[in-house]
């Protein structure tokens, strides 16, 4: 895969390194030559000093044959413009932009860009880690609007059914028992030490935590 990473800050440098280690053809672009010092000595890609707002620089980076472009500078305006140009003018199949300040997130949606809001995602992840250990996040989609959670069935939930886990914003997707996973049926009886994976929103998982906690109080 031919990938262009625009912005050699901490995030861009780390991403470019990992992509190059996976044998992708990576070009990382930045206006500041000194920024390339952030790259690992084991980086296998190519560096290009220049302003990615210039179409000439983008062409020298190989945008006309790029499979993907990541706009990862610390400027939301630059990321939006570069992402828009890559997608609409050069028709790059996969464009991802970094959202630096949450207040600009709506503008990315206006440009119809795939966006990663590290600040928003990290804050939500930290909030989740403050909650109870029975429910753990294992995968986050988008900017954390929907996530996959792993639930270790506690003793108080032994004998209940999968349908008891269903609250608004929660969809069971897998049940693992003794090393085997199945698609859960609503009437399937849960056992202690079962591991259930659910897809859910933040509100949905909070409702499920409340439901689990209510049983603890009743016990």
Q: Are 172 and 166 contacting, i.e. CB atoms less than 8 angstroms apart?
A: yes
> Domain 2-119: which topology?
Rossmann fold (3.40.50)
At 155 the pLDDT is 81
Domain 131-218, classified CATH 3.30.70.1450, yes or no: yes
Q: Are 127 and 119 contacting, i.e. CB atoms less than 8 angstroms apart?
A: no
At 186 the pLDDT is 92
- Sequence spans of domains, the chain: 2-119, 131-218
Q: Long-range contacts of range 20-26, CB-CB < 8 Å, 24 or more positions apart? A: 20/44, 20/45, 25/1, 25/62
pLDDT single digits (tens) 162-177: 998 889 999 999 999 9
Query: CA-to-CA distance for 198 and 171, rounded, in angstroms?
Result: 5
User: SS3 breakdown of the chain: % helix, strand, coil, rounded to 5?
Assistant: 40, 30, 30
Query: CA-to-CA distance for 112 and 97, rounded, in angstroms?
Result: 10
Residue 212 has pLDDT above 90, yes or no: no
Q: Are 119 and 102 contacting, i.e. CB atoms less than 8 angstroms apart?
A: yes
Q: Helices 118-129 & 202-218, crossing angle to 10 degrees?
A: 10
Q: Are 152 and 193 contacting, i.e. CB atoms less than 8 angstroms apart?
A: yes
Q: Which residue has the higher pLDDT, 127 or 20?
A: 20
At 30 the pLDDT is 97
Count Cβ atoms below 10 Å from residue 42 Cβ, excluding itself.
Answer: 8
Model confidence band, residue 71 (pLDDT cutoffs 50, 70, 90): very high
Residue 156 has pLDDT above 70, yes or no: yes
Q: Which of 15-19, 146-150, 183-187 has the lowest mean pLDDT?
A: 146-150
Residue 39 has pLDDT above 90, yes or no: yes
pLDDT single digits (tens) 110-122: 778 787 776 666 6
Sheet with 146-152: strands ordered across: 135-141, 146-152, 195-200, 170-177, 180-182
């Amino acid at each position: 895969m031919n990938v262009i990473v625009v912005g050699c800050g901490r995030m861009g440098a780390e991403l470019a390194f990992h992509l190059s280690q996976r044998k992708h053809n990576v070009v990382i672009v930045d206006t500041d030559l000194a920024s390339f010092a952030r790259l690992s000595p084991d980086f296998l890609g190519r560096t290009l000093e220049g302003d990615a707002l210039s179409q000439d620089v983008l062409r020298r980076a190989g945008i006309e044959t790029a499979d993907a472009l990541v706009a990862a500078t610390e400027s939301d305006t630059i990321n939006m413009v570069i992402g828009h140009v890559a997608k609409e003018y050069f028709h790059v199949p996969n464009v991802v932009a970094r959202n630096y300040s949450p207040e600009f997130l709506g503008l990315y949606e206006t440009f119809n860009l795939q966006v990663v809001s590290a600040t928003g995602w990290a804050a939500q992840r930290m909030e989740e880690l403050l909650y109870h250990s029975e429910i753990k996040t294992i995968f986050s989609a988008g900017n954390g609007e929907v996530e996959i959670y792993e639930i270790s069935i506690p003793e108080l939930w032994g004998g209940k059914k999968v349908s008891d886990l269903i609250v608004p914003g929660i969809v069971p997707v897998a049940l693992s028992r003794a090393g085997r996973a199945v698609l859960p049926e609503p009437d399937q009886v849960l056992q202690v030490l079962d591991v259930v994976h659910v897809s859910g929103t933040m509100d949905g998982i909070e409702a499920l935590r409340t439901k689990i906690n209510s049983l603890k109080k009743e016990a």
